[in-house]
A and B are shown apart, each in its own frame.
Chain A
Amino acid sequence: MPPIRRSRPGGLSRRQFLNASLGAASGAALSSCGWTLANVQTTVRTDPGVLYIYTWAGYTDDELIDNFYKETGVRVIADVFSSNEEMLAKLQAGAGGAYSVIYPSDYMLQKMVGLGLVQELDRARLIGLDLLFDKFASPIYDPDNIHSLPLSWGTTGLVYNTTVLEPAPEDWDYLWNNRSDLTRRMTLLSDTREVMGASLKSLGYSYNTTNPDEIEQAYEKLLDLKPSIAAFDTDSWRSQILTGDLKVAMCYSADANEIAKQDANIAYTLPSSGSSIWTDTLAIPNTAPNPDAAYAWLNYMLQPEVAARICQRLSFATPNQAAFELLPPDVQENVSLFPPESALDKSENLTPIPTDVEELYDRLWTKLTSV
């Protein structure tokens, strides 16, 4: 994993301190009467030479940040989150004014637009929007890219070690059909929507269903598989799949590609009955300080050379056609990175679901992970 910069040189200026303490004091005053939970505060960061971004672990590295500094003279400070929900909670808990650029995934972006947390992008300030692949020019989750810029995309599927697993899995059903052989040798993601989605897909339903009956059926099917599941785990499968302690793991394609670089025996399958297609985006919060630097960062990420280098170094697919054309042929032809359109037919984007369905998911997930 590339090193992440988290250092934050220099202390608060007096003005910043004053702003912060005013904010705290008004917060305390408000709390004496009826108060609103998790009100997003306005900015306390005003230094134009520094850009705070809030991103996924593994989405930035020193080269990216150093080159941006050389180009614009703006220092980038990246904080990392490990789930969309964590990012949303932190923003709502008062860090909304802290970051100029955030990296929500598709469904989370939709949710944040609904909550009024991100601003519309000024298209006149963006250079290179026309370089995106056609299907990313107006994605379902954000028509015409009004609020966001697609940065990377991928799928969810199965990664396996060919030295300990054959035949190769082709669909989700493989897990159920071979469960006695896979007992305690498989992990699923630690993500409610993805795991329930895989079970839904294997039943022929949609990832985004809101029908409680279908969701209950998917839960029952998972319960059936439960004794064979070693763990629900998003990260620590990596070392164990390399050593062969795990035979198969459910994972994101980007992570599988990263591991496959280390060992040629690691392979990735996009399940034939379909799975989820995710897009991670760049967005600017409503309360973002330093918008000039934010737009500079967005334009920097749109540059074909930069996008191509990120794609190669950090192993996620680029939505940028000009960048794709700069990639070496072996990367372009890597089907786990760029699957053919035909393979994506049955896959879906995750979309936000109503609160009562979210609660049903949460209840079933707690049950699944506690019995």
Chain B
Amino acid sequence: MAVSSPPPTSPSSSEPRPQARWLGPLALLAPSGLWLLLLLVLPTLVIFQLSLVPNIRPGDVVNPSGLDNYWLAFNSTNLTVIVRSLSLALGTTAVCLLLGFPVAYWIAILAPRSRRNLLLLGFILPLWTSSLLRTYAWITILRPTGVLNTFLGTFGLPPLELLNTSAAVTIGMSYSFLPYMVLILYSSLEKLDTQLLEASADLGAPPLQTFLKITVPQALPGIAAGSLLVFISSLGDFIDPELLGGASSMTAARLIYNQFLGQTQNWGFGSALSTILILAVSIAIALLLKYGDRDAYRS
């Protein structure tokens, strides 16, 4: 900042001096920019470089030479794994949205204003415990003679064989990521203009129409952001699939893990898989930014 410059006489007439114009943003953005550059951009570039070396292992010289690793990623087995990961992540996102929206709506609009912070706190409290511990808790609940089946048994209902299935993974991941969805939807619904709801009702719209035409469009950016966060988090999760998913639980995240920390140590193939996931997620974000926002503002 230009310390010696005289204070402006009035805010409208004074233009900041040229160097001050970029000094401010630079000072504010440089620390986080440097952080991102060193810890996100550079490693991502290294991953991309490694992905271009077929069969590279620790101790080899990095010498990019082709796309072989990418072709390998699209053979039928690996494709099955990628598709499973995507569908588990999509399922988790849908469950979180269906369960999270009513809760966020209730906290943001219907619950007494003085209690809101307390309610939110209660909702994010589980995040303060280890995610591994919470997943183990689900094993206790879902196992054949576990809490759930004991409960069902007391009502004479047949037991459910849930542990070690994809359903168990979806349950575990939805539980893990629901708080994120609720928090983001809450912050979006909190800004909802309730006068519009009253106007809609006054003009004779039934509640469902009001909800679909007034509430949802206003909350759409929140829905998009929340869904994206849950989708990305569940795509990268490997604790839940590993502990709850059973014998057919291979996911992309675990496959990548195996390439780096497993027996074959094929870092090149692992990097190619990572690059594919990074690209897939980037495209999803780009599409949402492009179309999600436009829809939100058109209405």
Contacts and interface: CB of A to CB of B under 8 A. Distances in A.
Given A92-B59, A192-B263, A362-B264, A240 B249 contact: no
B48 to A, nearest CB: 14
A115 B59 contact: yes
Interface stretch (B18-26, B73-81, B229-237): B73-81
A29 to B, nearest CB: 14
Bin chain B's interface residue count.
Answer: 35 or more
Contact of A226 (B77, B247, B260): B247
Interface stretch (B4-12, B88-96, B140-148, B200-208): B140-148
Given A37-B60, A92-B59, A231 B77 contact: no
Interface string B62-101: 1100000000000001101100100000000000000000
Interface in B107-163: 136, 139-140, 143-146, 161, 163
A34 B63 contact: yes
A297 to B, nearest CB: 26
A231 B250 CA distance: 11
B227 interface: no
A226 B249 CA distance: 12
A244 B139 contact: no
Nearest to B78: A366
A358 interface: yes
Contacts of A361: 263-264
A358 B56 CA distance: 14
B60 A36 contact: yes
A262 interface: no
B85 to A, nearest CB: 10
A217 interface: no
A348 to B, nearest CB: 17
Contacts of B144: 184-185, 245
Chain A interface SS verdict (over half): mixed
A205 interface: no
A370 B186 CA distance: 38
Interface in B163-198: 163-164
A360 to B, nearest CB: 10
Contacts of B57: 37, 355
B58 interface: yes
Contacts of A34: 61-63
A232 B254 CA distance: 13
Contacts of A244: 145
Nearest to B83: A370
Contact of A37 (B56, B164, B245): B56
A243 interface: yes
B266 interface: yes
Interface stretch (A63-71, A81-89, A248-256, A333-341): A81-89
Contacts of A236: 136, 139, 243
* Residue from B164, B255, B258, B264 whose CB has the most chain A CB atoms within 10 Å: B264
B246 interface: yes
A15 interface: no
Contact of B139 (A184, A240, A367, A369): A240
B26 to A, nearest CB: 23
B145 A184 contact: no
A36 B263 contact: no
A113 interface: no
B62 A35 contact: yes
Contact of B246 (A35, A230, A371): A230
A231 B164 contact: yes
Given A34-B63, A245-B146, A362-B266, A89 B247 contact: no
Given A37-B56, A37-B59, A245-B143, A184 B161 contact: yes
A104 to B, nearest CB: 14
Interface in A180-194: 184-185, 190, 192-193
Nearest to A188: B247
Nearest to A83: B261
B223 interface: no
A38 interface: yes
A161 to B, nearest CB: 12
B162 to A, nearest CB: 11
B265 interface: yes
28 contacts: A34-B63, A35-B61, A37-B56, A37-B57, A38-B267, A39-B59, A89-B260, A115-B59, A184-B144, A184-B164, A226-B247, A229-B246, A229-B247, A231-B247, A231-B249, A240-B143, A355-B57, A355-B264, A358-B263, A362-B263, A362-B266, A363-B77, A366-B78, A366-B250, A367-B77, A370-B80, A370-B81, A371-B77
9 closest cross-chain pairs (CB), A and B: A38-B58, A92-B58, A370-B250, A369-B250, A229-B247, A362-B264, A245-B143, A86-B261, A231-B246
